[in-house]
Copies of this chain bind each other. A is one copy, B any other.
């Protein structure tokens, strides 16, 4: 059965997404090991139906991989260098047992030069139910500092996404998309430290956050530790 229908998509145009998650004080990126010879990893991506809006396409692709809807998702750049293609990868693939999903023509289509619209997304990592894409051997959350070899310009895509994330983090208050509903000030600070890769002063950080007037203070969180119990906070919608 043939599942992939190249003729339904716009030619030479793709979407790639840098999906950020946060756990264990690490800012993580979702990457997939490509099911080909060699150690190739890739960002989750896909294609755009001929009449589909690009934002909708990106949301669809995100949902296919994570199961999540209504997630923070924003385009940040187009990568459209001349010669930008996967041909080496797909030529490799032709010597590998292939899926029934694809015809030789599909591989030719996939090997073209592609212009890719890059999106970045922020997700609460524990809500994600990962699904593999058709080309994926496995998908994993990886600390952005320890990324494996990414295909094509995907490393550059992560770099630019991180840059954009940092620029917008405060301005658009998007960081809360990475945290669960409630959190302590310490947890919020550790998120900032992971994103900016630098320490923040505890007292000044707290003041700055409270001065934003977007946090709602809830009850205290008794952890059983031998110290003062921290307050829980919630982001005011």
Contacts and interface: CB of A to CB of B under 8 A. Distances in A.
Interface of A: 10-13, 48, 50-56, 75, 77-78, 80-84, 112-113, 115, 117
A104 B28 CA distance: 51
Which residue, of A10, A56, A75, A77, has the highest number of chain B Cβ atoms within 10 A? A10
A83 B51 contact: yes
Contact of A13 (B13, B51, B52): B13
B78 A113 contact: no
Contacts of A80: 48, 53-55, 117
Contacts of A11: 10-12
A66 B52 CA distance: 34
Interface of A is mostly: mixed
Contacts of A113: 50-51
A12 B82 contact: no
A230 to B, nearest CB: 36
B13 A115 contact: yes
Contacts of A13: 10, 12-13, 115
Contacts of A10: 11-13, 115
A113 B54 CA distance: 12
Nearest to A49: B82
21 contacts: A10-B13, A11-B11, A11-B12, A12-B13, A12-B50, A13-B115, A48-B80, A50-B112, A50-B113, A51-B82, A53-B82, A53-B83, A53-B84, A54-B78, A54-B115, A55-B80, A55-B81, A56-B82, A75-B77, A80-B117, A115-B117
